[in-house]
Amino acid sequence: MKKVGILTGGGDCPGLNPVIRAVVRYAIQENYQVVGIKNGWKGLIENDTVELNLQSVSGILPKGGTILGTSRTNPYKKENDIEKAKENFKKIGLDALIAVGGEDTLGVANKLYKDGFNVVGAPKTIDNDLNCTDVTFGFDTAINIVTEAIDRLHTTAESHHRIMVVEVMGRHAGWIALESGLAGGADVILIPEVPVDIDEVCSIIKKRHKRGKSYRIIVVAEGAQFKKGTMVTQEEKLDAFGHVRLGGMGQRVGDEIEKRTGYETRVTVLGHIQRGGTPTAFDRVLGTRFGIKTMELVLKKDYGKMASLQGNKIIAVPLEAAVSELKTVDMELYNIAKIFFG
């Protein structure tokens, strides 16, 4: 019996379990044994695995997170880790490996493929910033969670006549801030792609106050930057992929608004709430389709590819192209949002 491995790496998000379930159901139908690699690439380095069968994936479709666990481990970061991963790939007896993750996880998958290993990928990130796919699973759930939070903040902001600043995830791309802000009726949306002009933000707030609206909702992506500044970080420590830990931009924006306008301002940081909980129907279906497609690629021995949503079709694209650059915000959509800033 042939063996296919599957791992989930990077930040967790709703929709991972539907991918795992789809792979297992399809693989077993095709007489494959499925090996779950626990905790992302860390599990491959440490040979930490679990057999996945029909019982393992029963009932996980609506469950958030990942039953396999995850980590931000980069096997190419520490000396000898990648050799251990390659050795365990062979020791486990994998005919192929399905890596489910974002730019970092799939970047490792692409390197491993180039090193001669049979690897395919499925695109996961709530940031929706992975190239060569219209949407990544996890994004729809995240923007629905954020939109609901904004809806709730509208009522308390109106009651207290306050400015409410909502900080959402988005390191280099502002997709979450843009789409949830647009859906939630935000007065201003601040994203990494457009440097923040705090004077302009305060001017918009003051103009709307003059028109009689005594409260505002400002949505800020965590990776947004002031025009002459750098990203606001919680600490300078880097993770295994060289990323700083972000956070604090919402508070900086809130402090500046209150100082410059005199209006009472409160800041809400949604943080990991955005990536938790049960996936939406869209993400359940998309994750399932990606899982089926990755297993199809394994059956066809079409390695070095990633499942991708383009239009209404699930197609295969090269992993190398998918991780070559980030997919940043569609400025046409941002210009639509700006119509509602004035």
At 245-278, the pLDDT tens digits run 555 899 999 999 999 999 999 999 999 999 999 9
Residues 129 and 181 in one domain: no
Residues 91 and 45 in one domain: yes
Residue 244 is predicted with a pLDDT of: 55
| pTM, 2 dp | 0.91
Residues 58 and 118 in one domain: yes
At 4-48, the pLDDT tens digits run 999 999 989 999 999 999 999 999 999 999 999 999 999 999 999
Residue 238 is predicted with a pLDDT of: 63
Residues 83 and 199 in one domain: no
Task: Give me the catalytic one of 12, 104, 127, 129.
Answer: 127
Q: Is residue 181 part of a domain?
A: yes
Residue 113 is predicted with a pLDDT of: 97
Residues 164 and 230 in one domain: yes
Residue 23 is predicted with a pLDDT of: 98
Is residue 127 part of the annotated active site? The answer reads yes
**SS3 annotation, the chain:** CEEEEEEECCCCCCCHHHHHHHHHHHHHHCCEEEEEECCCHHHHHHCCEEEECCCCCCCCCCCCCCCCCCCCCCCCCCCCHHHHHHHHHHHHCCCEEEEEECHHHHHHHHHHHHCCCCEEEEEECCCCCECCCCCCECHHHHHHHHHHHHHHHHHHHHHHCCEEEEEECCCCCCHHHHHHHHHCCCCEEECCCCCECHHHHHHHHHHHHHCCCCCEEEEEECCCCECCCCCCEEEEEECCCCCEEECCHHHHHHHHHHHHHCCCEEEEECHHHHHCCCCCHHHHHHHHHHHHHHHHHHHHCCCCEEEEEECCEEEEEEHHHHCCCECCCCHHHHHHHHCCCC
- Those residues of the chain that have pLDDT short of 70 are 229-247, 342
Residue 209 is predicted with a pLDDT of: 86
Residues 288 and 241 in one domain: no
Residues 116 and 157 in one domain: no
Domain count for the chain:
2
Tell me whether residue 188 is exposed, middle or buried, using C-beta atoms within 10 angstroms of its C-beta: 0 to 12, 13 to 18, 19 or more. Answer: buried
Residue 187 is predicted with a pLDDT of: 93
Residue 241 is predicted with a pLDDT of: 57
Residues 145 and 128 in one domain: no
Domain hosting 177: range is 141-275
Q: Is residue 248 part of a domain?
A: yes
Residue 239 is predicted with a pLDDT of: 59
Residue 153's domain is classified under what CATH number? 3.40.50.460
Residue 13's domain is classified under what CATH number? 3.40.50.450
Residues 208 and 269 in one domain: yes
Q: Is residue 38 part of a domain?
A: yes
Residue 230 is predicted with a pLDDT of: 43
